[in-house]
Amino acid sequence: MNDLQRTTDWYLARKGRVTASEIYILLANHKEDMTEEEIEEYKKLNPKSRVRTKEVPFSQGTFSYLDGKIAEQFMPDNAFLEYMEDCAPHSRAMDWGTLMENSARMRFCNETGEEVLDAPFIPLKGYERFAGGSPDGIIRSGGILEIKCPFNPAIHLKHFLYETAEDLKEDNLQYFSQCQYNMICVERETDIEVPFCKFVSYDPRTSKSKQLKVLTIPKDVEFQKQLLERTELAVQYFREKIEKINNAKMIV
């Protein structure tokens, strides 16, 4: 496990912030009725269409997620840590992933000859109060690391079949989004371009030649732009909701 992560300071750094591992939640939309003007414009381009709705950010699940993060911002640190202890999900799969992470990192270094530095939670510059990410490592020669150690060997072997970044994006948007968002966070923090993320899947229970998969995920400028646009919308929601809560009267 990254020595700078899953500590008390790490949990407090994530408190009340959208994180890279959950940024995909911001990509969800809900449907809304078009205005008459929008329907008219749409029919000019699609004369046979009967569509009268449009997709707009966010989904109800997104708003619930953001509301949870806003609630965290109003919690004292000790109460938040107690809440995390009581409510944070725990499973054998999560424990396995945490236990195997250091072994995966060492195997990656041995196979590639790369040196990997530990990384803390990195607030997103420009939105420090609201968002950030925790890459599983920063590669000294360039790029970052994202490690997955699936509890189910079949999932690891599915990862082993990936040949392109698009394969990861199509199969697991959460992981692809996490890689891209962590690249943004590190790049903004260091002012050094992060051209790729090495996506690592590791399972020591499989045959030796299939234990490690390393897939290069190049920087996707357009996708990163979309993530930042959704971040801006989320931050706007944060600010408006926090202001309402601060201005609400205790007794009415």
pLDDT range class, residue 3, cuts 50, 70, 90: low
Question: Residues 96-104: what's their mean pLDDT?
Answer: 94
The pLDDT of residue 43 is 87
Strand ranges (E), 46-120: 53-57, 116-117
Q: Is the pLDDT assigned to residue 149 strictly greater than 80?
A: yes
The residues spanned by each domain of the chain are: 90-232
> Which one, of 6, 175, 193, 202, lies nearest residue 110 by Cα?
202
Question: Residues 109-127: what's their mean pLDDT?
Answer: 97
Bridge partners, 122 (sequence order):
133
Residue 67 to residues 125, 135, 199, Cα–Cα distance (Å): 22, 25, 30
Q: Is the pLDDT assigned to residue 213 strictly greater than 60?
A: yes
The pLDDT of residue 122 is 97
Q: Is the pLDDT assigned to residue 1 strictly greater than 60?
A: no
Q: Is the pLDDT assigned to residue 70 strictly greater than 60?
A: yes
* Comparison of pLDDT for 179 and 35, the residue scoring more: 179
pLDDT range class, residue 12, cuts 50, 70, 90: very high
The pLDDT of residue 50 is 85
Question: Residues 167-196: what's their mean pLDDT?
Answer: 98
Taking the C-alpha atoms of residue 239 and residue 237, their distance in angstroms, rounded to an integer, is 6
The pLDDT of residue 235 is 98
> Which one, of 164, 19, 23, 10, lies nearest residue 80 by Cα?
10
The pLDDT of residue 194 is 98
> What would the CATH number be for the domain defined by 90-232?
3.90.320.10
- How many Å separate Cα 141 from the centre of its chain? 23
Taking the C-alpha atoms of residue 250 and residue 174, their distance in angstroms, rounded to an integer, is 39
Q: Is the pLDDT assigned to residue 166 strictly greater than 70?
A: yes
Q: Is the pLDDT assigned to residue 4 strictly greater than 70?
A: no
pLDDT range class, residue 94, cuts 50, 70, 90: confident
pLDDT averaged over every residue in the chain? 95
Taking the C-alpha atoms of residue 147 and residue 102, their distance in angstroms, rounded to an integer, is 9
Q: Is the pLDDT assigned to residue 65 strictly greater than 90?
A: yes
The pLDDT of residue 25 is 98
Question: Residues 175-190: what's their mean pLDDT?
Answer: 98
Question: Residues 125-152: what's their mean pLDDT?
Answer: 97
